[in-house]
Amino acid sequence: MSSAPSVKPVKSILAVDESSMRTNKVDQTSSFLLSMIILIGIAVFMLAVLFIMRSMSHYTKPFIVKPESIEGRGLNAEGFERDFDPPGSDEVEQLSEPALEQTLQMVTEAISNISASLESIESSMAANGTGSGRGDSRQAGPEGEGDKNVPRSERWELKFTARDKRNYSLQLESFKINVGAIGGGIATVDYVTNVASAPSKKSGTSKEFKGVLYFMSTTANVLEQYEKQILQTAGIPNAGRQVLKFVPKETEELLAQAEAAYYMEKRSKEVRIADIAKTVFECRQKKKAGGYEFVVIDQRYLGARPAKK
């Protein structure tokens, strides 16, 4: 008796191998690493966006600084009030043959003015021992009307730090500051342009430098020696002469903007230059863009008005 042959079961095409659906350690590790890469990428992207926004928020748009109008008495004698100015031709015509009512009024006003003038003259004589007029109560400086501001040449202080003459010259040239010399029996003002790249000698008269901002070293230091070497390179004698740094108008405007911005940050949104006694600038190298910039490191004020909180 023969037995029937065995038949193997046939798998259905719809059957699923459950063992192939199970995750192994390799899949788990690769998924974890991929997730971490995505998260790190998102974090880097967010940090980049924050950095850009922060950089844009720190950008200060240049603004126009109101020109300074500083009072000065010029060549007038120092005094406690102001002498009368002589009348002009139009004023003389107005004084001719006034009416009776005007004459009486003018006499009354004249008596009052004479009394006030006598008091002023007496106080002047008591203070100085003599007196021939009231003098000029304005501060020292070029004659003109304006505010009692400390002049920029006295109010500003520029600080440089350089390791050698080349580095110092690069800082000066970046702001187009020229090094010059005056005095020493030489009538002209001699100065050097392009102090780092191509030093060249130029000369001018003192009248040509009227209104030009300049600074000089108050104490002997290594920077002054560098300035003298710059003059020697251009063939300018400096023995017995005063060495100066001439600041151009565009650099002066940059300094004025930095001063005003610092005042607005530390004191008040309304800039009052008359409150500032001293502003100290420091020349620093830019971290990213290259070159140099002036940064306000200190500012001292007149009066006792509290600083902005």
The SS3 assignment for 64 reads: coil
DSSP calls for 200-242: EEEEE-GGGGTT-EEEE-SS--HHHHHHHHHHHHTT---TT-E
Torsions phi, psi for 49 (to 5 deg): -65, -45
Confidence of residue 59 (pLDDT cuts 50, 70, 90): very low
pTM to 2 decimals?
Answer: 0.59
> Which residues have CB under 8 Å from 145's CB, separation 6+?
69, 71
Return the pLDDT at 60.
46
Pairwise CA distance, residues 47 & 55, whole Å: 12
Instruction: Reply yes or no on whether the pLDDT at 156 is more than 90.
Output: yes
Tokens of 109: 């006003």
Return the pLDDT at 58.
42
For the ranges 36-40, 62-66, 238-242, 264-268, which has the lowest average pLDDT? 62-66
- CB burial class (10 A; 0-12, 13-18, 19+) of residue 212? middle
- CB burial class (10 A; 0-12, 13-18, 19+) of residue 176? middle
Residue 16 CB: number of other CB atoms within 10 A? Answer: 8
Instruction: Reply yes or no on whether the pLDDT at 43 is more than 60.
Output: yes
**pLDDT, greater one: 152 or 89:** 152
Q: Which residues face 186 on adjacent strands?
A: 183
Residue in the structure block whose two tokens are 């190298």: 285
Q: Are strands 186-193 and 200-204 parallel, antiparallel or unpaired?
A: antiparallel
List the strands of the sheet with 156-159, edge to edge.
156-159, 276-285, 292-301
Under 8 Å between Cβ of 133 and 256: no
Side-chain half-sphere exposure of 75, counting CA atoms within 13 A: 0
- C-alpha torsion sign, points 77, 82, 83, 86: positive
Q: Report, as an integer, the average pLDDT of 56-71.
A: 55
Return the pLDDT at 66.
62
Instruction: Reply yes or no on whether the pLDDT at 157 is more than 70.
Output: yes
Pairwise CA distance, residues 168 & 165, whole Å: 5
Confidence of residue 29 (pLDDT cuts 50, 70, 90): confident
Instruction: Reply yes or no on whether the pLDDT at 184 is more than 80.
Output: yes
